[in-house]
Amino acid sequence: MTETITGLGLSLLELLVLLGTVALMAARLLPTGVRRPFALAAAAAVVLCGVALAVSGARWQMLPALAGAALALLFTAPSALRRRTGEPARRARWGAILGAVVCLGLVAGSAVAAWALPVPVFPAPTGRYAVGTTVVQWDDPARPETATPDPDDRRTVVVQLWYPARAGSARAGYLGRTEREARTVSRGLAAYLGAPGFVLDHLPRARTNAVPGAAVAEGNERFPLVLFSPGLGGVRTQNTAWAEELASQGYVVAALDHPYDSAAVVLADGRTVRTRVAATGDQAEDGRRSARWTAVRAADLSFVLTRLGSLDRGETPGPLTGRLDTRRAAATGHSLGGGAALQAAHQDPRFAAVIDLDGFPHDPDPRPFHQPALALTQAIGPDTDPDYIPGLTRVLELGTATNYRLTVPGSEHLTFTDAPLYLPPVPALAGSLGRTEGPRITAAASVAFLDAVLRDDPADPAAPLSAYGDLTTYRADG
């Protein structure tokens, strides 16, 4: 009853409340012989489903509909249930019409809100593996935390792993290990966006396709690694659909929360670390800040790769000991995280590939890097930052391997995240590819590239990538 009906953004209970309320109001128009039983059935459905919805926890999108249902029960039901003895007075008739309009408006408001901001439904991964997930927290004793004045404070990162697993029935929640953590993160994201905290309260209701704590897939295969840095203010779970698809295809994805940068990070001791990043409006100062944040993120990526190596060797406890191939590791990220991935690649030769999801490079001293890179970019229009593509091109041309830029028609900056699954389908916000096509293309293009450059038989990914957009190739030989 809590599963969202794809396309409507409503659960079955929610749909029944809406339909029951409309039916209750429509009962007044029916012939006397069927009006009473129809109204009784509609009223029963509204009461039962409304109570069940309230007990299970109604999301805010449904509050107008529940108010409309209450009005319909108070004013419409008695009129529909009593036997008609004559023509109603004009005043009563106009009052009934006004009440019906108000009720219908409340029901329509809920329906639109639920459709515009639905509980996300994550597409089923298409690979041969089931997907497991777990969360770890690692401290870097070699790096001080520059965001705090305490000289003894060390850098901490929270990492979520998605990996090929044995099948299981339980499904992990979205945004956090617990509902409390997920709600903290959803409210942190809303605050970062400048929206009221309740606006994203529907996200913790979602269930993903991954099984928390699942046993790793059977066999002795070592899986390539994909390390992911989210966008500015973003969180480790912002590309869950992408991570689950990659894991189902035989990759281990390690997505990072960057404390004091990510909107809200819940640490193992229960503390919540809020973002401290903010734009000043001064282009030069914002550029310096972006370069500083990017450098911290690049160091975080290298640190996590080191810890994954320790995990593989059994020096750090975890379910993936002996199953990670750290020789085949990709640095990836979205937005600012994409710039951090590019910077991590030229600083750390252990990374064997790079994926930049619509990220501007902020490295103040760009240098050649030797790993193949894929940059997925939004559709370029008159409102696109004019420095974006030239700056990205300069970095891609520095590579000594063949690099690729794939521009996806109909995409926007958030197309390459989970956002199309739960934000209003407004082209300027999440692109014009619909709820699921953007995340599908992002994952499919990433898998095509990674399969070509990280698997045992390297290949040219140009042909499969061309199926997803407009491809530009930067070859080291010019």
SS (H, E, C) 232-267: CCCCCCCCHHHHHHHHHCCCEEEEEECCCCCCEEEC
pTM of the shown model: 0.91
**pLDDT tens-digit profile, the chain (478 residues):** 456 665 677 888 888 899 988 888 887 777 777 777 888 888 888 889 888 888 888 899 999 999 988 888 877 666 655 655 555 555 556 666 777 788 889 999 999 999 999 999 999 999 999 999 999 999 999 999 999 999 999 999 999 999 999 998 899 999 999 999 999 999 999 999 889 989 999 999 999 999 999 999 999 999 999 999 999 999 999 999 999 999 999 999 999 999 999 999 999 999 999 998 877 778 888 888 899 999 999 999 999 999 999 999 999 888 899 999 999 999 999 999 999 999 999 999 999 999 999 999 998 888 888 999 999 999 988 878 888 999 999 999 999 999 999 999 999 999 999 999 999 988 988 899 999 999 999 999 999 999 999 987 778 999 999 999 999 999 876 5
The answer to whether domain 130-474 has CATH 3.40.190.10 is: no
Which secondary structure element, helix H or strand E, spans residue 227, and what is its range?
Answer: strand 223-229
The type of residue at 203 is L
Domain coordinates in residue numbering, the chain: 4-116, 130-474
Residue 27: predicted pLDDT: 77
Q: Where are the alpha helices (DSSP H) in 82-159?
A: 90-116
Residue 82 pLDDT:
60
In the sheet that holds 373-377, the strands lie side by side as 211-212, 130-144, 154-165, 252-257, 223-229, 324-334, 353-357, 373-377, 403-407, 470-474
Per-residue burial over 362-397, b = 16 or more CB atoms within 10 Å of its CB, e = otherwise: bbeebeebebbbbbbbbbeeeeeeeebbebbeebbe
**What pLDDT sits at residue 476?**
75
Residue 1 pLDDT: 42
pLDDT of 385 reads 85
